[in-house]
Amino acid sequence: MFSIFRKQAAPTAEQTFKQRVEHFWEWYRQVAPRFYKTIKDRKSESLTTEVSEKVDELGPGFAWVFGPGQSGGYSFTLSGEGVLHHQLLTQYWLSRAPELQGWTFHAERQPGRIEGIRMKLDNLDFNPIEFWITPEVNKESEKVDITVWHPLFDQLAGNDRLRPLFLFLDEVLGEFGTGQWIGEIKLNDSQLPNAIPLNELSGYIQNLQKTKSWKKFRPGEETTLYRCQNPHGCFLRGDIVIGQTMQPRLINEYLQAEGRLKDPLAGTGADYVFVSFDVGILPKGKQVDARGAIEDALDAALRAEHRGRLLGGAMGSRFAYIDLIVFDGAASLETVKRILKEKNLPAGTAVNFFANEKKRTAAVI
């Protein structure tokens, strides 16, 4: 499984992400029986170019792999390569997957075996089973903090040591498992006496999971509350006082860019957008509930039409905000505008793009 993954170039066709996903699954329905037989005949490498070209059409930043499926079948995995922006897209891709006999589909790399795998870095040959891990349960964060040693660490700078570590952590725990379970990481210059080899970390976490009731979320499912200490009017959303989001990386990047965010979904046919409207129209004492009713209506309509979903919302000193990811371009925006009109949002309400390159195309209600 590990060796077949590959990154790809950006697509040439300018389609919405919804259209790209629909075309992908139409294609996969047709080729699935042939692919199944080819893999069964142990000739899966002959499919690499054909599959890679089709994955390229979905957009940049994805990787793929064939693997074992359920009940003796096979699986196809599309990975966002650990990037939350792209992981939201692979989740949508998976939600549109058809049921095909003998096939299982995944939107993230699955746990695998690391025995026999190597990684070359600066002429150093990293053997993953030589990583030694000292785990410590962190009850407050509901994660496992780890101290890590490898015999080649003394030949690399600190940040360079993290590259092979994260690669092999994802292989042992799966793409989502690393983010769900691993907390603080400390790199050590020597092996601690109570350390375990990396290939035993999965079993350690599985045993921990049996004894804890910690709920683990997939990307885009967990809500994070955030506050802004010094609200201002220097750029749109700068006036935010408090908000909640399922995409904290997007919020952090937008604020750090002071509203001039380079499109994090460039080339995919999907967009991050946010609705802005006068906060004064919300009834005092019930502002959050009133905004929530609009959010629910938008989320329901976008999901029903497979055109997007809610990511969060915020309250500012001037405006209220509702954050969305949309998959179907202008059609998604029409759905958003329709719901806003049904909810009697006032004149001046706008649908804005997070991406600085697209700000001129904001739609005003």
| Sign, Cα dihedral of 203, 87, 305, 353 | positive
At 2 the pLDDT is: 39
At 82 the pLDDT is: 85
Going from the C-alpha of 5 to that of each of 80, 108, 119, 298, 339, the distances in angstroms are 11, 12, 14, 36, 41
At 223 the pLDDT is: 93
At 136 the pLDDT is: 96
At 362 the pLDDT is: 63
Q: How many CB atoms lie within 10 A of CB 82?
A: 18
Q: Transcribe 54-112 into DSSP letters.
A: HHHTT-TT-EEEEEE-STT-EEEEEE-TT-HHHHHHHHHHHHTPPP-TTEEEESSPPP-
C-alpha count within 13 angstroms, C-beta hemisphere, residue 128 = 23
At 3 the pLDDT is: 41
Which residues make up the CATH 3.30.70 domain(s) of the chain? 224-364
**77 neighbors 108 (Cβ within 8 angstroms):** yes
For the whole model, what pTM was predicted?
Answer: 0.86
Mean pLDDT for each 10-residue chunk of the chain (365 residues)?
A: 45 80 98 97 96 96 92 93 93 97 94 87 90 96 95 85 89 90 93 93 94 88 92 94 96 95 97 97 94 98 98 96 97 97 94 90 66
Q: How many CB atoms lie within 10 A of CB 250?
A: 23
At 12 the pLDDT is: 44
At 14 the pLDDT is: 83
At 361 the pLDDT is: 61
Question: What CATH number was assigned to the domain covering residues 224-364?
Answer: 3.30.70
Query: In the chain, count of helices (H) and strands (E)?
Result: 9, 16
